[in-house]
Structure 1
Amino acid sequence: SLSIPMHAGRAFDTKDPARADWTPEQRARAAALERLDADVGRLIQRLNDLDLRRNTLVIFTSSHAPQPASGLTDFFNTNLGSRAEPNALYEGNLRVPMIASWPGVIAPQSFAAFATTMCDWSPTVADLAGASNLPRGLDGVSLKPVLLEQTPPERGMLYWEMRRDGFTQAVRRGRWKVVRPAGKLQREAVELYDLEMDPRETRDVADENPQVVAEFIRS
């Protein structure tokens, strides 16, 4: 992937009176969001102009959630109350929107509560294109049945790690998620969260579910 500095441009750097008391960083973020919204609109309009819209799957998502170190997450409520900490792998650090639009194929305003990762898009696009000879061992699963509101595929474990200011790991399987915070390298030094009952990860239940923790560690 490629990450480069992005600027909204002078056309979006307006002196909105409603933002008079905002910091320069807050105004810059708002301008960037306005620019993004406008550019997505330009892309969709171009597809319409070329009569390609009904043959094009448009995916809108992000590689990771806003990081609290930016100082802007609380102001814009970008994590919607989910737990997020600097250089961590909690839901507020990981969860992002994923919007897919395909007229005549994906039902408008449909919703799917299915955990996905960026690794899923390679097999998904290949499946939608009719490819049948995909390489073995792909990490992702095809989201085609999810997009078409069919029976979702089997979802194995999801794994994340971050090597920044320490070594942090997280694994999710179904309702359970374990997190090993940075600096805790012992196999047993993990936190366990029940995302169905506690989606904001406010209560570590590792001590109450030692068997679940042991299964994660063994795998």
Structure 2
Amino acid sequence: MTTPLTIRGFTLYPGVLDGRAQRDMVEDLRAVARAAPMRAPVTRFGKPMSVKMTSAGRVGWISDRRGYRYEPEQPRGGPWPDIPGRILELWHKVTGLERVPDCCLVNFYGEGARMGLHQDRDEGDFGWPVLSVSLGDDGLFRMGGPERSDSTESVWLKSGDVVVMGGAARLSFHGVDRIRFKSSRLLPGGGRINITLRVVEPLTE
């Protein structure tokens, strides 16, 4: 695995996935989207998000007028598909954890899409890291601190890069300012896929 870079507590592993691994993962995610179609969510204030999303795993992340939360069923009904094996292998390889994630959130960024600064804090135990994988077009990833007012630093994430948000960075604000549309040939129509793997609840005895 490549030598990691640490920026504001975020650990970046450049180029973890080679071209073949990226293509295989995209095919896995296409199967996820067939079982749980992408949707255009809204914020709790009713504002449409510019990304489309779906999930895999025991639970999926939901955003609507009722708020942000994890649910065991898709909005259309029925369970979420399983997290693909190759994605779980990457989680174990990078994090070194035996515990499997409960949710694999899949976000698609088309032309002009972005994600404002936010914290990942809908989980039940912040002691577990969040693992993020970039596929497709370059994305300008902004990293801050535990307060929205903290200063930020940005880095371009390329297809195959992996970021781990753990420890002090687990509750740091972060976002995607923009993408370089069609900077990658991975997705024929252009765009960026970002997947994040999360442990939602602590283990129970």
**TM-score category by the smaller chain?**
under 0.3
TM-score by length of 2: 0.23
Question: Which protein has the bigger strand share?
Answer: 2
Q: Comparing both chains, which one has the higher relative contact order based on Cα–Cα distances under 8 Å and sequence gaps of 6 or more?
A: 2
Over alpha carbons, which structure has the higher Rg?
1
TM-score by length of 1: 0.22
